[in-house]
Amino acid sequence: MLLDDASAEFHDFFERHYAELARFAHLLTGETDAADDLAADALLALWQRWDRLRAADHPLAYARGVVANLARTRIRSAVRERRRVGLFWSRHPEKTAGPDVAAVLDVRTALGRLPFRKRSCVVLRHAFDLSEKETAAALGISVGTVKSQTSKGMAELEQLLGAGVVGALATGRRTR
């Protein structure tokens, strides 16, 4: 089967960026299966608009934005579902004395505690090494918002994980 130019370009785009988009979705949602689905759904949305996107300056930034929006929708839906289940099963919620130390030490759990925009900025800036400008383009926000959300997100992670762990994460060093 011969592919036309647009199909060949999209196939090449898919091959080059699917894994990265899936990793991005995984870091946003914390769910491996959902990450694959979100990356596939984002690429399907891109394929439907590929005639316009192939001429764009940054189709990958657009793809990251689509993944971020799909992840946000999935997270919001899951939160609503948990609330419904919680209301149904628990008349008197249990109170805990303090934070779960094991959960605080887990970076994924700590990322999951950040609001979506802060988490997106931190993940794109530090896990994917995107510039502030690239992060802003991917999320459809200003560079100033990227700077402030990244700074605030890192400060919150520092409170949750400790300064040493966050410093190592930001510089790419591994901790024990």
Which amino acid, residue 63? A
pLDDT at 111: 87
Angle in degrees, CA 38, 82, 87, rounded to 5: 160
The whole-number average pLDDT for the span 139-145 is 94
| More confident call, 161 vs 45 | 45
pLDDT band, very low/low/confident/very high, at 1 (cuts 50, 70, 90): very low
Domain residue spans of the chain: 1-95, 96-176
Whether 112 has a pLDDT exceeding 80, the answer reads yes
Whether 157 has a pLDDT exceeding 60, the answer reads yes
| More confident call, 173 vs 80 | 80
Q: How far apart are CA 36 and CA 42, in angstroms?
A: 10
Mean pLDDT of the chain: 81
Under DSSP, the state recorded for 55 is T
Which amino acid, residue 13? F
The whole-number average pLDDT for the span 38-49 is 92
Whether 151 has a pLDDT exceeding 90, the answer reads yes
Whether 161 has a pLDDT exceeding 50, the answer reads yes
What are the tens digits of pLDDT across the range 74-104?
A: 888 887 777 766 655 555 555 555 554 454 4
Handedness of CA 175, 33, 31, 44 (dihedral sign): positive
User: Considering just the CA atoms, what is the radius of gyration of the chain in Å?
Assistant: 18
- Token pair, residue 103, equals 């959960």
Q: From residue 4, give the alpha-carbon distance in Å to each of 10, 77, 137.
A: 10, 38, 29
**Topology of domain 96-176, CATH:** Arc Repressor Mutant, subunit A (1.10.10)
pLDDT band, very low/low/confident/very high, at 145 (cuts 50, 70, 90): very high
The whole-number average pLDDT for the span 156-169 is 73
pLDDT at 127: 84
Q: What three-state secondary structure class fits 91?
A: coil
Q: How far apart are CA 131 and CA 96, in angstroms?
A: 40
- Among candidate residues 40, 51, 46, the one with its CA nearest the CA of residue 5: 51
Question: Are 169 and 126 spatial neighbours (Cβ–Cβ below 8 Å)?
Answer: yes
